[in-house]
């Protein structure tokens, strides 16, 4: 079940356990149950602090983790390997008594939640976003006796997960709570906890305040802090959209990494400086009053700064057709790597003929029964090598000059209707999934009319990252810079920070 390398790594982690843990397993005669018991037996043999016993649980196969004198609050339904193996290791350590790596303010917020809150999260073992949600909810269950959490592998419980078409999907007390990547701060906020507005109102005026948590913002905050400036960063999540990137192979000096790994390294780098990090916070409004930038947050909190750097990046572009919003997580998806396995053996479509769309269609062809690629233009825009690869697949079809008109279905998506732009004829495809890959849109709605934007909503900046408003700068994918790449965004973030420093000196 575990190779020698994983065994060696696991043995080292288990030495960090601070107390005893009881694993209670519910197994049957199926292969998944056998694999689960093989895994648990190997884990038990590695530590004298672990006890393994069998019992009948709500789901089979599944197992719980608990301290000897407590009721179990963490359950794994299925075999947590793949990306979820780390979730299992962390849960073992935290249940044993080892303190989670979280800010004390977050720990205090978790402990204040009254509950009871009974969470279930459906995941895919190939999903890179799922472990963050699983680990956040497991940590909450460890810290608060009024919270329980069950991770459910959708592949192991197909009947139960048949209507779930996006991962991770969280349920709270049987009702859908949320879908997609979520940080522990975001979950706390959705439960009614989180930071109070008054915590922001008492903060002193910043020299540089950065909005956003991606590569551009992280770089800007670090460069500003290195100049000795009082620096703050307001972010929905550190890493931004990079968190959703499966693989990164073009960040120079790092041959290969993943989005979550990159984001974690960025977070650690930011935390190594004296930067006031305000995570899981959204900005509602910006104003420039008396040479200071006034920032109003969605929770009512207010911040002021002498200079501002906007680095809020971009988000998936929607098709904006009837049915798209209604069937999100019910057949409409945006991440083929994460959600693709949920469509195994089904018919799907990919909308978008650029590199990301063609790559998505190629990846999905190895999982689904049939994939149809729809391109609005007369020709695909992807690299020729990708087009040739897609054309060689016997379960893939390419339709050009296709304008998606509507998505329809019942409880889940059942069909896509498109218009042939050459003949104006309507056609309907019977399918169960649509992956939207038509590019990105800048996250700049909150700036209002304060700074100039182009017709795509991108903030217009000069070579120094300056906007049309003195003291306000912008960097990364939210601007009109030509290329949207991690390494370019980080450079533009550094430029904006140095420009803000120069502005402060001169003013």
260 is in an annotated binding site: no
239 is in an annotated binding site: no
355 is in an annotated binding site: yes
395 is in an annotated binding site: no
Encoded tokens for 396:
């893939």
* Strand partners for 39: none
491 is in an annotated binding site: no
125 is in an annotated binding site: no
470 is in an annotated binding site: yes
CA of 226: how far to CAs of 206, 266, 473, 488, 494, in Å? Answer: 15, 15, 18, 20, 11
User: Going by C-beta distance under 8 Å and a sequence separation of 6 or more, which residues neighbour residue 137?
Assistant: 119, 121, 147, 149, 170, 187
473 is in an annotated binding site: yes
228 is in an annotated binding site: no
460 is in an annotated binding site: no
461 is in an annotated binding site: no
299 is in an annotated binding site: no
451 is in an annotated binding site: no
347 is in an annotated binding site: yes
194 is in an annotated binding site: no
471 is in an annotated binding site: yes
Burial (0-12, 13-18, 19+ Cβ within 10 Å), 170: buried
325 is in an annotated binding site: no
Residue 438 contacts residue 451 (beta carbons within 8 Å): no
Q: Is 412 helix (H, G, I), strand (E, B) or coil?
A: coil
154 is in an annotated binding site: no
220 is in an annotated binding site: yes
19 is in an annotated binding site: no
Residue 51 contacts residue 22 (beta carbons within 8 Å): yes
280 is in an annotated binding site: no
358 is in an annotated binding site: yes
Encoded tokens for 418:
């498109």
Encoded tokens for 115:
């509950």
99 is in an annotated binding site: no
90 is in an annotated binding site: no
415 is in an annotated binding site: no
497 is in an annotated binding site: no
187 is in an annotated binding site: no
505 is in an annotated binding site: no
254 is in an annotated binding site: no
Encoded tokens for 355:
């590199």
357 is in an annotated binding site: yes
| Strands 117-123 and 74-77, sheet pairing | unpaired
474 is in an annotated binding site: yes
215 is in an annotated binding site: yes
The residue ranges of DSSP E strands in 203-251, in sequence order, are 206-211, 231-235
User: How many angstroms separate the CA atoms of 319 and 438, rounded?
Assistant: 8
Binding residues: 207-222, 347-361, 467-477
Binding residues for FAD: 207-222, 467-477
Binding residues for NAD(+): 347-361
């Amino acid at each position: 079940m575990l190779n020698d390398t994983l065994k060696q790594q696991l043995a080292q982690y288990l030495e960090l356990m601070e107390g005893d843990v009881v694993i209670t397993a519910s197994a049957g005669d199926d292969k998944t149950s056998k694999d689960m018991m093989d895994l648990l037996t190997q884990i038990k043999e590695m530590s004298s602090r672990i006890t393994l016993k069998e019992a009948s649980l709500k789901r089979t196969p599944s197992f719980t983790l608990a301290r000897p004198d407590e009721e179990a609050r963490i359950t794994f339904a299925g075999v947590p390997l793949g990306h979820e193996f780390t979730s299992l290791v962390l849960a073992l350590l935290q249940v044993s008594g080892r303190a989670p790596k979280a800010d004390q303010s977050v720990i205090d917020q978790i402990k204040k939640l009254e509950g009871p809150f009974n969470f279930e999260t459906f995941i895919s073992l190939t999903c890179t976003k799922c472990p963050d949600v699983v680990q956040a909810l497991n940590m909450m269950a460890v810290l608060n006796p009024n919270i329980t959490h069950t991770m459910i592998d959708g592949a192991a419980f197909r009947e139960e997960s048949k209507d779930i078409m996006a991962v991770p999907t969280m349920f709270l007390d049987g009702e859908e709570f949320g879908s997609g990547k979520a940080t522990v701060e975001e979950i706390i906020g959705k439960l009614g906890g989180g930071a109070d507005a008054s915590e922001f109102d008492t903060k002193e005026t910043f020299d540089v305040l950065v909005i956003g948590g991606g590569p551009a913002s992280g770089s800007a905050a670090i460069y500003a802090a290195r100049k000795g400036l009082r620096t703050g960063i307001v972010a929905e999540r550190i890493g931004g959209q990079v968190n959703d990137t499966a693989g990164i192979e073009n960040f120079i000096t790092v041959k290969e990494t993943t989005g979550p790994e990159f984001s974690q390294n960025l977070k650690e780098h930011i935390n190594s400086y004296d930067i006031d990090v305000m995570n899981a916070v959204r900005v509602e409004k910006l104003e420039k009053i008396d040479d200071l930038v006034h920032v109003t947050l969605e929770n009512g909190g207010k911040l002021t700064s002498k200079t501002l750097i906007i680095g809020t990046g971009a988000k998936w572009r929607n098709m904006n057709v009837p049915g798209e919003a209604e069937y999100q997580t019910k057949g409409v998806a945006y991440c083929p790597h994460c959600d693709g396995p949920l469509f195994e053996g089904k018919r799907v479509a990919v909308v978008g003929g650029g590199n990301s769309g063609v790559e998505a269609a190629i990846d999905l062809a190895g999982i689904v029964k049939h994939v149809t690629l729809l391109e609005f233009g007369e020709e695909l825009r992807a690299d020729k090598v990708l087009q040739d690869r897609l054309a060689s697949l016997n379960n893939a079809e390419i339709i050009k000059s296709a304008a998606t008109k509507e998505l329809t279905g019942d409880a889940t998506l059942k069909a896509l209707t498109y218009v042939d732009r050459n003949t104006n004829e309507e056609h309907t495809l019977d399918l169960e999934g649509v992956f939207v890959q038509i590019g990105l849109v800048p996250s700049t709605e909150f700036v209002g009319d304060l700074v100039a934007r182009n017709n795509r909503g991108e903030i217009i900046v000069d070579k120094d990252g300056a906007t049309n408003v003195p003291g306000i700068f912008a960097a990364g994918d939210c601007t009109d810079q030509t290329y949207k790449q991690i390494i370019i965004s980080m450079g533009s973030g550094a430029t904006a920070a140095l420009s803000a420093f120069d502005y402060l000196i001169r003013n």
